[in-house]
Structure 1
Amino acid sequence: MTTTGRIDPSTTAAEREMLESWLEFHRETLALKCAGLSEEQLREAAVPPSSMSLLGLVRHMTEVERGWFHRVLGDEDAPPLYYSDEDPDGDFHVTAEDTWQEAHSTWRAAIDRARELAAPHSLDHIGGGKHRSGKTYNLRWIYVHMIEEYARHNGHADLLRERIDGTTGD
């Protein structure tokens, strides 16, 4: 698997640069896990009864980006795109109508907005919105959580990709 477009984080960076570079590394890792696959392969579920697919993971990470950066940090009205109260795992429930082009462009737009929302703030900045738990979070916590979230799901993506075409790698 190629690593074009993905940059290894510095081993000596300051805290913010370190956090941002690790988050970018993991965002690009998910993109790499999806690269070069057909629509059918991207929506291929792991193993029954799981409905997890690479397309579903991208949709899920779109919701995660929007939740933490748009809603919690930026206090924006960013309603769910792929899930609902009736289907809380709807981001993972892809159908034949769901496309990579839509999911990928929506995910990239969510990431772009997340970067814009984070840029003017210090790591200690407390987001203007609240999580569904009612708690507030600072930007540092959001960055660390997002790195954890991507790292965990990139492990899933690695297994999915290996099952689809045998491709492995970080």
Structure 2
Amino acid sequence: MSIKHLRPSGDADERSQLTGWLDLQRAGVRMKCEGLSEEDAHRAVLPSSPLMTMAGIVAHLRWVEYSWFHLDLLGEPDTGQTPWRDDGDPDAEMRVDGRKLADLLDEYDDECARSRAITARHTLDDLEKGQHGGDSPASLRWILHHMIEETARHLGHMDAIREILDGRTGYLS
């Protein structure tokens, strides 16, 4: 599958570049999961990272989207909906046994759509209202750069896991 059409134009403005590259990475998440069995979606193949499964990464990316755009940028309070806040388990979002990959992907897509809507309502210079733990508040520009990095890094994990699972490889275009 080719998703080359999602690449931003080389002469696009800064916002279009940032959102375009992020959307390209987001689309790659679903692409890497195409045709994967439920068993393989939950199979841990890296001995040193038993929670890093395809399903776990999808869930993690969903919550990363939520955290950066809702909790940090908008400053919304966490009312207990985030998995890592319930019992103090820092890897709680990766624990998805019994959750169907299709449901996790749909939740991720829905969260990405909410993130896009939030992004559209803000300037790149708008600062987060929540606290991300950095020295100074992050701008939306910084958050978008970080989300490209975060999503691409985990997409690389998914690529390696998928190759180990069934030999399937491929780039986004």
Give the TM-score, by structure 1 length: 0.90
The separation in 2 between residues aligned to 1:31 and 1:103, in whole angstroms, is 10
Q: Which residue of 2 aligns with 1:146?
A: 147
1:75 aligns with 2:75: yes
Which sits farther off after the overlay, 98-107 or 24-33? 98-107
Q: Which residue of 2 aligns with 1:66?
A: 66
Q: Which residue of 2 aligns with 1:14?
A: 13
Cα displacement (A) at 1:6: 5.8
Unaligned runs of 5+ in 1: none
The separation in 2 between residues aligned to 1:101 and 1:82, in whole angstroms, is 19
Which residue identity lines up with residue 141 of structure 2 in the other structure?
Answer: R
Q: Which residue of 2 aligns with 1:169?
A: 170
Structure 1 counterpart SS, 2:83: coil
Q: Which residue of 2 aligns with 1:87?
A: 89
Give deviations 1:111-168, integer Å, cap 9, x for gaps: 1111111112110011222224574211000000000001111110100111111111
Cα distance change, pair 100–63 in 1 and its aligned pair in 2 (3 A) = same
Which sits farther off after the overlay, 82-91 or 156-165? 82-91
Unaligned runs of 5+ in 2: none
Q: Which residue of 1 aligns with 2:106?
A: 105
Give the TM-score, by structure 2 length: 0.88
Number of paired residues? 168
The separation in 2 between residues aligned to 1:128 and 1:37, in whole angstroms, is 39
Asked whether the 8 Å contact 1:59–1:82 carries over to 2, the reply is no
The separation in 2 between residues aligned to 1:6 and 1:40, in whole angstroms, is 31
The separation in 1 between residues aligned to 2:61 and 2:5, in whole angstroms, is 18
Cα distance change, pair 4–18 in 1 and its aligned pair in 2 (3 A) = closer
Q: Which residue of 1 aligns with 2:53?
A: 53
Asked whether the 8 Å contact 1:127–1:138 carries over to 2, the reply is yes
Which residue identity lines up with residue 83 of structure 1 in the other structure?
Answer: W
1:39 aligns with 2:38: yes
Asked whether the 8 Å contact 1:6–1:29 carries over to 2, the reply is no
Cα distance change, pair 112–77 in 1 and its aligned pair in 2 (3 A) = farther
Asked whether the 8 Å contact 1:74–1:127 carries over to 2, the reply is yes
Asked whether the 8 Å contact 1:63–1:80 carries over to 2, the reply is no
Q: Which residue of 2 aligns with 1:29?
A: 28
Cα displacement (A) at 1:47: 1.9
Cα displacement (A) at 1:80: 4.9
Q: Which residue of 1 aligns with 2:157?
A: 156
